């Protein structure tokens, strides 16, 4: 049975503010914390599968890889505190962009969605809803889980355990955003396109956008949303028609729910994607 928000809201403490166990660390301590986290994960069998890191950047990539591969099982609180200090310190060095500074209620913004300060950002997930398990994979799912930290996967694991089945295409779930600038993450599974684009694909993509908007409307704290290009990566949905469906679906929803949201932003990672949205907006 599909888990609805009332069924998992308390399980992921959705309405509680995120309280990290570790204070954000200054820049000069980040590499030390990375090394400490790796030592605390020293019994993880995956660590031995990666090259021995020689630089601070290599150590950080190794830690990201180990956390990417790791399942949603709970972490030791001492390790969580170290990761909170590390991720919090990295967050402090980030310069997030505020969606309320964009000039229109429906806008396009080019950049990394993990650096956008909206009330909620949208993650293009797969039907397991646990994030990407491929180290350093350049998908938005991987990027969002990396910046948010391992609590995000733990929450997704709780939701999927309650649901007991894979997430259907065109539906959505919500979790807190943890170390992201966005307090919430909306996770949706868009359609996979192999071959020709069919009306069923278009309908399913519109369902994903509507599902995110409907779910966001159930959370009073959400007034601004930033959408990634759902299904336009490895899921193969052509980008121009995807942008057309995204803009049309959002505009229809906003017309049916006047005043519910203050900003809806379409995030483009490349200039080509930005151009498609700007044509429509």
Q: How many domains does the chain have?
A: 1
CA dihedral 158, 180, 187, 4 (to 10 degrees): 50
Q: Tell me what pLDDT residue 42 has.
A: 80
Instruction: Look at residue 1 in the predicted model and tell me its pLDDT.
Output: 73
**84 in a structural domain:** no
Which domain does 206 fall in, by range?
A: 5-16+96-280
Q: What is the pLDDT of residue 8?
A: 97
Q: CB-based burial of residue 280 (10 Å sphere; 0-12 exposed, 13-18 middle, 19+ buried)?
A: middle
244 found inside a domain: yes
Main-chain phi, psi angles of 217, to 5 degrees: -65, -20
| Residue 71 resides in a domain | no
For residues 141, 180, 106, 266, the Cα torsion angle rounded to the nearest 10 degrees is -20
pLDDT of residue 46: 65
Domain membership flag for residue 44: no
d(CA 169, CA 188): 8
- Nearest partner of 64 among 8, 1, 138, judged by Cα: 138
Answer yes or no: are the C-beta atoms of 157 and 71 closer than 8 Å: yes
**pTM assigned to the model:** 0.95
Q: Which residues, in sequence order, are bridge partners of residue 116? A: 97
Which pLDDT does position 48 carry in this prediction? 67
pLDDT of residue 52: 66
Is residue 259 in some structural domain? yes
What is the DSSP-derived secondary structure letter of residue 119?
S
Cβ neighbours for 32, distance < 8 A, ≥ 6 positions apart: none
What's residue 103's pLDDT? 87
Residue 9 sits in a domain whose CATH number is 3.40.220.10
Run means of pLDDT, 10 residues per run, the chain, 281 residues:
91 96 96 94 72 85 92 92 98 93 94 97 97 92 97 97 96 98 98 93 98 98 98 93 97 97 95 93 89
What pLDDT score does 72 carry?
Answer: 92
For Cα atoms 45, 49, 50, give the angle at the middle one, nearest 5 degrees. 125
Residue 52 lies in a domain: no
């Amino acid at each position: 049975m599909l888990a609805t928000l009332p069924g998992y809201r308390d399980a992921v403490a959705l309405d509680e503010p995120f309280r990290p166990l570790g204070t954000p660390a200054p820049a000069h301590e980040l590499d030390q914390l990375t090394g400490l986290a790796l030592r605390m994960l020293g019994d993880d069998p995956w660590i031995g599968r990666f090259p021995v890191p020689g630089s601070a950047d290599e150590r950080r990539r190794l830690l990201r890889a180990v956390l990417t591969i790791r399942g949603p099982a709970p972490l030791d609180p001492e390790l969580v505190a170290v990761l909170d200090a590390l991720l919090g310190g990295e967050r402090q060095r980030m310069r997030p962009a505020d969606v309320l500074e964009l000039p229109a209620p429906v806008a396009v913004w080019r950049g990394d969605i993990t650096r956008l300060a909206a009330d909620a950002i949208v993650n293009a997930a797969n039907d397991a809803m646990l994030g990407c398990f491929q180290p350093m994979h350049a998908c938005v799912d991987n990027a969002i889980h990396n910046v948010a930290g391992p609590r995000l996967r733990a929450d997704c694991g709780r939701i999927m355990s309650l649901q007991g089945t894979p997430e259907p295409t065109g539906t959505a779930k919500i979790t807190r955003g943890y170390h992201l600038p966005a307090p919430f993450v909306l996770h949706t599974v868009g359609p996979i396109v192999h071959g020709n684009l069919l009306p069923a694909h278009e309908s399913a993509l519109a369902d994903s956008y509507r599902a995110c908007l409907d779910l966001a409307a159930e959370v009073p704290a959400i007034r601004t949303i930033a959408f990634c290009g759902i299904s336009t990566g490895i899921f193969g949905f052509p980008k121009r028609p995807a942008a057309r469906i995204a803009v049309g679906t959002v505009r229809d929803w906003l017309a049916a729910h006047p005043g519910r949201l203050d900003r809806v932003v379409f995030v483009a990672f490349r200039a080509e994607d930005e151009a498609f949205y700007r044509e429509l907006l």
